[in-house]
Chains A and B, each alone.
Chain A
Amino acid sequence: MSDVLVLIEHSGGTVASSTSELLAAAAELGTPAAVIVTDGDGKALAIELGALGAATVFVATLPGADTVLVTPQVAALQAAIAASGDVSAVILGNSTDSREAGARFAARIGGAYQSDVVGVATGGAVTQQAFGGAFTITAVAGKGIPIISLRPNSVAGTAPTAAGKVSAIDISGDTAPTTIITARHEKSAVSARPELQSADIVVSGGRGLGSKEKFVLVEQLADAFGGAVGASRAAVDAGYVEHNMQVGQTGVTVSPNIYIALGISGAIQHRAGMQSAKTIIAINKDASAPIFDIADFGVVGDLFTVVPQLIDAVKARKS
């Protein structure tokens, strides 16, 4: 079987949480082969990656690897293709870094870049969604190999454990002009809350929360459920939360089991990011808010009285 390359993201010696799923997706299409760029020798990571299903681990060693944006990963994929000699597809995660590495790589080698994929089939056909899940699309590579960026929670199962054999690759000859990362301001990956994009339960707040201080109520409800926190653009623009919590057209797309919208009117651009949730709950004091058109269970009322009661009820059921 041909190799299917998987670009691995890692930091502080740990692989990204998406890694197991990416290798499982690769196993559906061929023999999983991991590709990493690291300033070390990659041996410890290779053991972990073998356990997750990588038969080969292509290791590009680059001093200061985590201070260069995207281009080392593109060079590593190119070197891995050459080293393997037989690659039928490339799979990457859905972070901005991985998506851009995939896009650049497709332009470099001539490949079919498939963004934000929610399903893969043998042969490399993919399923995608358009307009916030209003349309489901199936696509294939017309020419070149498929280069697939996979959305979390798209492929079930795990790949069988494999050898994780290290194969060193050389990217020192890469000539792409670089962008240097001079500082990182990121919360540690081990947050107490699940990641927004892949969370099972998402509680989002909108302008109806009224202030940054009062937005804490959204967090309290999310924590009662063990869910992630999201927001509308109006809440982000008002400075209640950071932009990376925005759900919608120009934010994150989520499709959790439960989506709870608090003080969100349900503008079309917000719905584009959450309308594929299984169950939608809405609390809004305006009975004519469009969010009620898509809510499975809606409450017309003041969120500041309903939510505290809901938090107590959820806690009571959990204990």
Chain B
Amino acid sequence: MKIAVLVKEVPDTWGDRQIDPSTKRVIRSGENVIDEINEKAVEAALLVKEANTGSEVTVITMGPSGALDAIRKSLAMGADSGIHITDDGLVGSDASQTSATLAAALAPRGFDLVITGNESTDGRTAAVPAMLAERLGIAQLTFLRTLEVNDNEVSGERMTEDGHIDVSASLPALVSVTEQIAEARYPNFKGIMAAKKKPVETVDIAALGLDSAETGGANSWSVVEGVAPRPARTGGTIIKDDGTAGTQIADYLAAAKLI
């Protein structure tokens, strides 16, 4: 089985994440890491590979030069090869453009299974997977917390607002995983060394056959016009419980006319 995993490099959620008011884009010059959900997506792909002999896992990312680290980490975990889509003309892409770019890389390579995270921690649009399924014309099994692949059939539990539903479809298919799918394995020393020798192909807009009049922030469908930081929240009254703290909270809420 040919499996693709889509990974994205994002600003570390532990850090101070900022948006540049002039470019109106996320500042990516700070500490960047592979999005945690994508490590889990790689894990999910490796589990499918291990259960299906003869499978191959390709990691794909679209991002600046530093995003190569996300590919290397995935290769160290056990993926077989990487594709790094990078081009200055892709900077500022929205979800629709990102999905079109990823689709251009995926479509000619004929993957049986495409695995993504359900939602990135920087954009939180949770849109790329559904858009990608649409563009590739394959079944969409998104927000899965469990995943099973048998012969020609994919199934799993999709998280919903009120619980979960069981879904299934035929391959080829796109799966997006939620954070409960699996704990990602840590790359060991052998994996890290092996990753250095694994093939990574670098492709740009021209190699994908995309029209540069359609790519990047200047041509996006969704255009950000304004960015305003909210003033930081400050602490209020902190008391030490003297045996009446429960009553004091109720008094506080009542005084503020909240209850």
Q: CB distance B239 to A300 under 8 Å?
A: yes
Please report the C-alpha to C-alpha distance between residue A23 and residue B95 in the assembled complex, in whole angstroms. 26
How far is the CB of B38 from the nearest CB of chain A, in Å?
12
A186, B164: Cβ atoms closer than 8 Å:
yes
Task: Decide: A300 and B221 in contact? CB cutoff 8 A.
Answer: no
Q: Which of B137, B163, B249 contacts A299 (CB 8 A)?
A: B249
Q: Which listed segment binds B: A35-43, A105-113, A160-168?
A: A105-113
Q: Whole-angstrom distance from the CB of B116 to the nearest CB of chain A?
A: 12
A199 to chain B, nearest CB (A): 13
Q: Is A65 an interface residue (CB 8 A)?
A: no
**CB within 8 A of B259: which of A69, A99, A312, A314?**
A314
Also in contact, A183 and B162, with CB within 8 A (given A250-B179, A298-B237): no
Give chain A residues whose Cβ lies under 8 Å from the Cβ of B125: 103, 113, 115-116
Contacting pair A135 B229 (CB below 8 A): yes
Q: Does A48 contact B (CB under 8 A)?
A: no
Majority secondary structure, B binding face: mixed
Contact B160 A305 (CB under 8 A): no
B233 at the interface (CB under 8 A from A): yes
Q: A144-B221, A177-B138, A249-B13 are in contact. Are A313 and B130 (CB under 8 A)?
A: no
Return the contact of B167 from the options A69, A130, A133, A242 (Cβ within 8 A): A69
0/1 interface trace, chain B 225-247, chain A, CB 8 Å (1 if under) = 11111100111111111001111
Bound Cα distance from A258 to B202, whole angstroms? 50
Q: Bound complex: CA of A31 vs CA of B135, how far in Å?
A: 30
B135 touches A107 (CB 8 A): yes
CA distance A130 to B220 in the complex (A): 18
Is B223 in the interface zone, CB < 8 Å from A?
A: yes
With an 8 A cutoff between CB atoms, is B168 at the interface? yes
B-facing mask of A252-280, CB < 8 A → 1, else 0?
Answer: 00000110000000001100100110011
The complex places the Cα of A275 from the Cα of B221 at a distance, in Å, of 30
Known: A96-B143, A308-B246. 20 other contacts (CB 8 A): A96-B158, A100-B142, A103-B130, A103-B131, A113-B94, A115-B125, A116-B125, A137-B226, A137-B228, A176-B137, A186-B164, A189-B162, A243-B180, A258-B258, A275-B233, A279-B253, A297-B236, A299-B249, A306-B249, A310-B250
Residues of chain B touching chain A, judged by Cβ–Cβ distance below 8 Å, are 13-14, 17, 19, 24, 26, 36-37, 94-96, 99-100, 119, 121, 124-131, 133-135, 137-143, 145, 155, 157-170, 173, 178-180, 219-230, 233-241, 244-254, 256, 258-259
24 pairs, A vs B, C-beta closer than 8 Å: A69-B141, A96-B142, A96-B159, A99-B126, A113-B125, A116-B124, A130-B26, A131-B19, A134-B229, A136-B227, A136-B228, A140-B222, A179-B168, A180-B169, A185-B166, A225-B259, A250-B119, A276-B230, A295-B236, A305-B241, A307-B246, A309-B247, A313-B246, A313-B250
